A and B are shown apart, each in its own frame.
Chain A
Amino acid sequence: MASIFTVECPSCGQSFPCHTELWQAGYDLLCPFCQATFPQERSPRIVSATGDVVRNDTGAAEGM
């Protein structure tokens, strides 16, 4: 299962896994913890399928 990235919810701060088919696919993601829906771009922290960390405040990849 290599094809996942994890997304931090902007509402509750918890992270959950998404399939890469959802990567920048234009769908709102659904937080399983608080039921918030949000576009990927609003997530404060995303870890991509290759392990790169993307922070929304800078938009920069830190690498891992």
Chain B
Amino acid sequence: MTTATRSSALVPTEEQELLRRSVREFASARFDIAQLRAYRDGEASVEAPLCYSRAHWREMAELGWTGILFPEEYGGLGLGHAELGVVLEELGRRLLPQPLLSTVLLAGSAILRGGSEAQKQAVLPGICAGELVLALAFQEQGRFAPWQVAMRATRVADGYRLAGEKRFVLDGHDADQLLVLARTAGKPGARDGLTLFLLDPQTPGVECVRTSLLDVRNAARIRFADVKVSMSQVVGAVDRAALILDPVFDGAAAGLSAELVGVLSEAFERTLAYLKIRRQFGALIGSFQALKHRAADMFCERELAVSMTLAALRALDAGRADAPALASAAKARTSDVANLIGREAIQMFGGIGMTDEEEIGFFMKRARAAETTLGDGAYHRDRFATLNGF
């Protein structure tokens, strides 16, 4: 599909609605939140150390969803962020964990944008076929600051030696390939002097520890102790990785916004449903104006988050100049609104909302994790301001 024929209207196309229906069917047939609890508690019946199912990953690939963003020559569908956004939103509604963000939006997109033909051939068809999971190892500190990279890549005779530590590497403990961001020049914080390397996690010197997050996803801590890589493992131009990663982070922020729209919409609807069944003082609690008005405010916030996200996804697909600002706007807004609704949901459920048995808490936790990932509201408001010249 060419950009020229794509609709810029802020309503889903018929094809996107069909896609939404099939993702919804898939998600509800394959997954429920009880499974998330089982992943967390390490029950033997599921692929516990993984926290997602490789079988589902392959099924999603068969349906074409892991290849939505990739050109047909690599086995993909050659569609856009708008379509991938539909998938992410529906998975978000169900809190279904799958390595779409790590593999497709981060590592895969970076290789599509910056990789050599050989590198693309080596990973993209595997992603589209559901055989490969990739991870992008870039973050070193708690707050998202993509160029705060201290990890060094030192030039040696026939390649580089990598030394340093990466944290919060999404799906890093299970990735078949790692795409690693390291400093070839300059100081931490500088955009220039960063380079990407593609490597096998089994390479000697790579030590990967799985860390469990509160949303039952995982993000590894990976140590690199003088890991040797060859020149053919460099992805894109040396020192210029930021140019590859700028649009990759935009796409990923917009995709994560779409997931957040799913998360916050489901949390909102569950809360609304609870307001209509819980009785106190001889009345349904949804009849109390104090709660009604907060529900109305949440509704407005939700609608604005939806519009912003749709606009960002469409701007990316059209390659518009304002796409980066819109991606930041969408991530800021969905992060804030997901948090708001998460908080309000727990409060409106009362004591039951505090229990692990009631599922609403899982939504708040995922909201918090997704908010923090790739920059929270404060980060993206700052970037939005910068991009708009103030």
- The finding on whether chains A and B are genuine partners in a shared complex, rather than unrelated, reads no
* Chain B residues within 8 Å of A, Cβ to Cβ: none
* Chain A residues within 8 Å of B, Cβ to Cβ: none
